Amino acid sequence: MANLYAYTDGACSGNPGPGGWGALMQAHDGGRVVKTRELKGGEANTTNNRMELLAAIHALEALERPSEITIVTDSTYVKNGVTQWIHNWKKNGWRTAARKPVKNDELWKRLDEAQARHDVTWKWVKGHAGHEENERADELARAGMEPFKP
């Protein structure tokens, strides 16, 4: 059985400003890539954090059946949010520890729903540090942003 990976990234020109998200989806078998799929998109007026979230959401929503997948992100916001903070946010009615509304709660809810049907492992990598797949996800995110730039 192949191991699935999604390398995700978001980009923004200004924050807020035009933004894009990208996801490099790969199936690995025996240590080699056997299938690749690239996803990208963007919005005219958004933030980098929203684009980081949408990259992970679209990667999970692209899976046609429940799967085991490793999502690799360079966003500590996404990784910590989905693996640590989200549990208390849900328990507290989508409020932070300071009782303020969670920013981007509609995307966090969508991510929570998208990951619920899968067995997801979350990994963080340092961005812009020569990680080949992360660099490709960044290229996809920038390409997704292009139609929205003035």
Torsion of Cα atoms, 95 then 102 then 9 then 7, to 10°: 20
* 119 is annotated as an active-site residue: no
Question: 3-state secondary structure string, 84-136?
Answer: HHHHHHHHCCCECCCCCECCCHHHHHHHHHHHHCCEEEEEECCCCCCCHHHHH
* 9 is annotated as an active-site residue: yes
User: One of 9, 19, 42, 58 is an active-site residue; which one?
Assistant: 9
User: One of 22, 41, 133, 138 is an active-site residue; which one?
Assistant: 138
User: One of 10, 20, 81, 144 is an active-site residue; which one?
Assistant: 10
Question: How many Å apart are CA 11 and CA 8, to the nearest integer?
Answer: 11
* 128 is annotated as an active-site residue: yes
User: One of 22, 43, 52, 81 is an active-site residue; which one?
Assistant: 52
User: One of 22, 42, 58, 74 is an active-site residue; which one?
Assistant: 74
* 41 is annotated as an active-site residue: no
User: One of 14, 87, 119, 128 is an active-site residue; which one?
Assistant: 128
Catalytic (active-site) positions: 9-10, 52, 74, 128, 138
